[in-house]
Amino acid sequence: MDTTFTPSLVHELIETENYIELVRLSNSIHPITIAEALIELEPEDIWKVLTHLPPSTRAEVFVEMEEQDQLDILETLSARELTQLFNQMSPDDRADLFNKLDEATQNEVLRSLAQAEREDIRRLSSYEEGTAGSIMTSDYICLAPETTAGETIHRLRTQGPKRKSLYYIYVVDKERRLLGFVSLRDVILAPQYKKLGDMTHRDIIVAHVQDDQEDSVQKIAKYDLMAIPVVNEQEILVGVITSDDAIDVMQQENTEDIEKLMAISGSHSDTSYLNTPIWEHFKRRVPWIVALSFVGLLAGIVVETFEDALTAVSLLAVYMPMVADTGGNTGSQSASLIIRSLALQQLKSRNILRVLLKELSISLLLSAVIGILVYSSVVLRSPTGVPDHMSLNALGMAIALALSVQVVSATLIGAILPLTANALKFDPAVVASPALTTTVDITGLLIYFFTAKTILGL
């Protein structure tokens, strides 16, 4: 059925005003599929389609659209339509959208909403971006420990349709301090007279409002939770982070790490690659590229310093690209594995020595393989570019040793940089490729020429 709901079909149904068929199709299709089909239409046409959908479906489809498309649609809405849309959205989605609006539109929205919704938006949108508070929802159920299982089921039936998170019932005291939780399964299987306080799980995993959002969602993954409660400094329950929001955050954090690995600056947004303007792509890439270009000039200075060695043995120039590539590759491999382990919290500060010893062992094995291959390559080639007084055997030993040392050096640098950054509370991804590659290029050339001059007596 999903394959039939295409932009061309939607446009045809709009032209013929066949909204009955449009609604019929949308009832059996996931909101994401509908959003993808509508994306090629003009904002006015998108809203025309959405107005014929049930209000709850309308809000779900709207939330799945790209950020810029959402803002374009909002510009076409009247105050009444804007209010209706906000009323149908879940609290966390509503707060996220509210933060994207300009101040005038925000004031207009607040004036049109009921007091409870106004206070909820103000509270959820007040938390700093990137914290647990900024991604939580107020859409949950909490009850007193004296509540019975029968009363809880009745509450779920009356409040459940309006709630996003029904996986857990949170148990709180009179001041709303979190005491623990009861799963939906526990409530259903318990005798109707049994009180929540008698079946509360008190060893509860929580997030605090100012915790980093990445740390909070990692708890959901680590403990296989469907949702995690969020508390303030007084341990008062203020919201929950659901698993679907956690997946969105993980995707966002992974994208940010990839961008940092590739030296792309700037904060990540939900806007897709194709919908991001060329100028925005340029601004995020140019700072690092310019900086690394100037740092790369140091490699040129190193080569210029050892120009006499290149003049004496022109064959040394043939293996310079291999020095740079091998060092960059081994260093990036090491850094990538360390960064991944740090991101998954598989490494702790106490593991640093073990990590370095392991990387040293790996690099020695790699250097042995590279050294043998390079030595064989040199001694088996034509002696062109080699002075008469110098043997291919000596030259092969010099180049092979230099590359072997470079492999060990680059591997250790690739491990040390992210570990050091993590210990200093910096993002380890920032120090990785291509910044790492540039650093390893410079150190590799120094190792290469110093080794060649020492062994060959240049």
Task: Quick: pLDDT tens for 342-377.
Answer: 877 788 777 888 999 999 999 999 999 999 999 998
Match 């003049």 to its residue by tokens: 311
Instruction: Tell me how far apart the alpha carbons of residues 286 and 272 are, in angstroms, rounded to a whole number.
Output: 19
pLDDT in tens, 442-453: 898 899 889 988
Provide the strand spans (E) within 259-418. Answer: none
Chain mean pLDDT for the chain: 85
Q: How confident is the model at residue 1 (pLDDT cuts 50, 70, 90)?
A: very low
269 pLDDT more than 60:
no
Domain ranges of the chain: 2-127, 142-242, 278-456
Token reading at 451 = 């080794």
Q: Which long-range contacts (CB under 8 A, 24 or more apart) does 359-365 make?
A: 359/334, 359/411, 359/412, 359/414, 359/415, 360/408, 360/411, 360/412, 362/334, 362/411, 363/330, 363/334, 363/407, 363/408, 363/410, 363/411, 363/412, 364/408
CA angle 454, 457, 458 (to 5 degrees): 100
Integer angstrom CA distances of residue 57 from 14, 85, 91 = 18, 11, 15
**What gap in Å lies between CA 195 and CA 187, rounded to an integer?**
9
CATH code for the structural domain at 278-456:
1.10.357.20
CATH fold of 2-127: MgtE N-terminal fold (1.25.60)
Share of the chain above pLDDT 70, in %: 90
- 117 vs 83, 91, 232, 276, CA distance in Å? 11, 8, 21, 32
Decide: residue 455, CB within 10 A, 0-12 exposed, 13-18 middle, 19+ buried: middle
| Residues 6 or more apart whose Cβ sits within 8 Å of residue 343 | 257, 428
- Name the fold adopted by 142-242: CBS-domain (3.10.580)
Predicted TM-score (pTM) of this structure:
0.66
Q: What is the pLDDT of residue 9?
A: 76
Question: Are 143 and 150 contacting, i.e. CB atoms less than 8 angstroms apart?
Answer: no
Confidence at 76, pLDDT banded by 50, 70, 90: confident
Token pair, residue 458, equals 């240049």
Dihedral (C-alpha) 410, 416, 419, 422: value to the nearest 10 degrees? -90
Q: How far apart are CA 161 and CA 85, in angstroms?
A: 18
d(Cα 406, Cα 399) in Å, to the nearest integer? 10
